[in-house]
Each structure stands twice: as structure tokens, then as C-alpha cells.
Structure 1
Amino acid sequence: MEKLQTAVTLRDQAFEAIKNRIVTGEWQGGMFLSEKLLSELLGMSKTPIRSALDRLEMMGLVKLSPKQGVIVQEVSLKKILEIYELRLSLETYAVRRLTGKMDAAFFAGLDDNLAHQAEAIAEEDIIRYVELDRQFHALIIAGLDNEEYTEVMSRIQDKFLLVVRTTFNRNQKRLAGSIEEHWQIRHALAGTDPELTVLLTQRHIEYVKKIML
């Protein structure tokens, strides 16, 4: 049993290490990786690494080729737009349901996140801001207390990080606009007009299309 637990832990460690390098842009689309390189880099055998790569391939972050090895997947414009269409559906539904109904603890979580967003902008730390941006939207979805919605959001969040990072790298001035829109959504959630919150959320998400197209 102890050996099984160790194997699972190594697999998860390999998965997180490889995934983080991809979603932060350290390993970009089209880059070739080898199991030998990953084994040496992570200091573990190829068995947990292969398991991690299988999982990453299912997520669409890498492609495994018998001849070429491991290739970091490019995120196509079509895929980016699909992710944002899904986000639009998830989040507009969530904010419509949550407006005027959330407690102080919910808003304390959003406010803490927004304070850290401001710090990241002041430090010009795009990687940190992107992660905090993801957390902000995940907090809203979590407010539904619906496991199915949370699971769907979790499945797309890593590709979501890739897309948002690309957006901010193309237009770093967008950071100030992004946090301002987050504050508007936060205040609307505390109000009594669900349609206003939906409108603000929709505008926030759809802005990305103007940058990506």
C-alpha cells in the first residue's frame, strides 16, 4: 500500500510540475520534450512521468507521438473562443443566481483576491495576476455550491490560464481594465440587479475576443 501511495504522489507531482511550466508559458506550444529530459529535470523515473503525460494529453496540453516524442500543444484561436463561450455560459448563469444573495464571507474572499490582484499589477507580475484572475472567477462559480459547475470550471481552468496569459502579454495595459471590471462585478453581485451583473460579466469576458481576433 505504501508503494502505491508513493507512486500516486510522484505521478501527481510530475503532472503539476509539467502542467505549470506549460500554463505559465515557460514551455510554449510546439516545444519538444523527451521523457529522458523530464526524468532528469524532475528527478524521478519514467513511470510516473508517462502517467502524467497521458493525463496532460487527455487535457489537450500535450501531444504524444511515437516518432516525435512529447509536443506541447498550440492553443488554436478556435479553441480559445470555445473556452470563452463556455465561460460566458457558466459565469452569466452564476452571477444571475448569486446577485443579492451572498454573505459577508463570500465578499471577503473576493475582496482579498482583488487586493492581491492590485499588488500583482503594481509589481507588473503578469503570471501572478493571471492566477489571481482565474481564482476570482473560480470563487464566483464556487458560490453556486454546485459540484457539477465547479467540476466543469476546474476542467477548463488550465487552458483558461493559457488564454488569459496570452491576452495580457499582447496588451499589458489590459491589466488595469481587467481589475476595474472585476470590482464592478463584485459590487454588482452585492446589489439587487441580476441583469446588471450579467451585463458586466458578459462585457468582461467578451472583451478578450476583441484582443484575440
Structure 2
Amino acid sequence: MSKPEGAMTLRETAFQVMKQHIVNGEWPGGMFLSEKYLSELLGMSKTPIRSAFDRLEMMGLVKLSPKQGVFVQELSLKKILEFYELRMSLETYAVRKLTGRMDAEFFRRLDENIELQGEAIRQDDISRYVGLDREFHAMIVGGLDNEEYMEVMSRIQDKFLLVVRMTFVKNKRRLIGSIDEHRQIRDALAGQDAALSARLIEAHIEYVKKIMF
């Protein structure tokens, strides 16, 4: 049993490391991914790397060409808009359902996340802030306690984070606006006005569309 478990660990490691490089923008769209380079980078054989390629292709993060090799997928404006619309629908639905219904533990975790966001801003750490931003929105959708919604949210965010990161790189002042909006959304969820929560999350996500389009 130890051998299969080790192989699974290598595949998962390859997948997570490669995905992180892509969503962080370190490997830009169109970049060629050499199996030899990745094998040396990750210190493993090509077998788990090829397995990771298959998973990344299913997620739409890489493109596999039989003749040319593997490339980081370039996101078109059409695709970005599709992710944006799907995320908007999912999160506005979530906050409408959750407003006034969540317990103290839910808000404790949101508050802890927002505190960490503040630290990332003070340290001028955009990559860390982007990760915390992802966690904040994932916690909200996670409040629905619906595995199907969480799976959809995870797929959206892996692709949408590329866009979110670009907005912060283009305008670092947006970090302050973003965390302020997170605080407003948190407070609205603790209230009783579901329509207000929906308006706040919609305006928050809308900012990305304004920057990109």
C-alpha cells in the first residue's frame, strides 16, 4: 500500500505546485511548460507531472497539444466574463440565503480572515492578500453547506484569481477598497437585510469587471 500512497502524493504535489504558479500569475498565459524543466523543478519523474497536466487541462488552466506540447491557457475576455457572471450569480445567491442566519463561529472565522488581510496589506503582499480574498469568498459560499456549490466555487476561483490578482497589481490602492468592502459584507451578513448583502457583494465583484472591461 505504501507505493500507491507515495505515487498519489507526488501527483497531488505536482498538481498543487503547478496550479499555484499559474493562478499566481508566475506562469503567464501562453508559456510553454517543459516536462524536463518541471521534472527538475519539482524533483520528480515525468509520470506525476503528466498526471497533473491532465487535471490542469480539465480545469482549463493548461492546453495540451499533441504536436506542440503543453502551454498555460490564455484566458480570453469572453471566458473572463463567463467566470465573472457565474461567480456573481453564485455569491449573490449565497449572501441572500445566509444573511441573519449564521452563527458566531462563522463570523469568528470571517473576522480572523479579515485581520489577516489587513496584515497582508501592511506588508504589501499581494499574493497573500489574493489567497485570503479567495478564502473569504469561499467561506461565504461554504456557509451554504452544499458540496456542489463549493466545487463550482473552487473551479471559478482558480481561474478568476488570475483576473483578481491583475486588478491589484494594476491598482494597489484597490487593496484598501477591497478589505473595506469585505468588512461591509461581513456586517451585512450579521444583519437582517438580505438585499443589502446582495448589493454589497455585487458591487464588490463588479469592480473587477470595470477594471478588465
Percent sequence identity over aligned pairs: 72
Partner of 2:126: 126
Distance 2:101 2:19 in 1: 36
CA deviation vs aligned residue, 1:154-203 (integer Å, no higher than 9, x gap): 22221122111111112211111111111110000001111011111111
Counterpart position of 1:40: 40
Instruction: State the alpha-carbon separation in 2 of the partners of residues 37 and 64 from structure 1.
Output: 16
Query: Secondary structure of the residue that 1:172 maps to in structure 2?
Result: coil
SS of residue matched to 1:32: coil
Alpha-carbon distance between aligned partners in 2 of 1:184 and 1:208, rounded to the nearest angstrom: 18
Partner SS, residue 33 of structure 1: coil
Task: State the match for 1:115 in structure 2.
Answer: 115
Cα pair 2:189 2:197 within 8 Å, conserved: yes
Give 1:57 shift: 0.9
Q: Distance in 2 between matches of 1:167 and 1:83?
A: 15
Q: Would you say the 8 A contact 2:33–2:71 is kept in 1?
A: yes
Which stretches of structure 1, 4 residues or more, deviate above 6 A after TM superposition? none
Contact 2:117-2:129 within 8 A present in 1 as well: yes
Distance in 1, Cα, partners of 2:17 & 2:133: 21
Structure 2 unaligned residues grouped into runs of 5+: none
The structural deviation recorded for 1:67 is 2.5
- Aligned partners of 1:134 and 1:160 also within 8 Å: no
Q: Does the 8 Å contact 1:63/1:72 carry over to 2?
A: yes
Question: TM-score of the superposition, structure 1-length normalised?
Answer: 0.97
Which residue identity lines up with residue 184 of structure 2 in the other structure? Q
Report SS of the residue matched to 1:70. strand
Question: What is the distance in 1 between the residues matched to 2:54 and 2:196?
Answer: 43
Note the aligned Cα RMSD (angstroms): 0.9
Matched, 1:161 2:161: yes
Q: SS where residue 138 of structure 1 aligns?
A: helix
Counterpart amino acid of residue 12 in structure 1: E
- Give 1:39-58 correspondences, 5 Å limit: 39-58=39-58
CA distance in 1 between partners of 2:75 and 2:173 (Å): 23
1:70 alignment partner in structure 2: 70
Q: Which amino acid aligns with 2:44?
A: M
Q: In structure 1, what is the equivalent of residue 200 of structure 2? A: 200
Aligned counterparts of 2:42 and 2:195: Cα–Cα separation in 1? 49
2:73 partner amino acid = Q
Query: 5+ unaligned residues in a row in structure 1: which ranges?
Result: none
Deviation at 1:207, TM superposition (A): 1.4
Matched position secondary structure for 1:14: helix
Instruction: Judge conservation of contact 2:25–2:162 (CA < 8 Å) in 1.
Output: yes
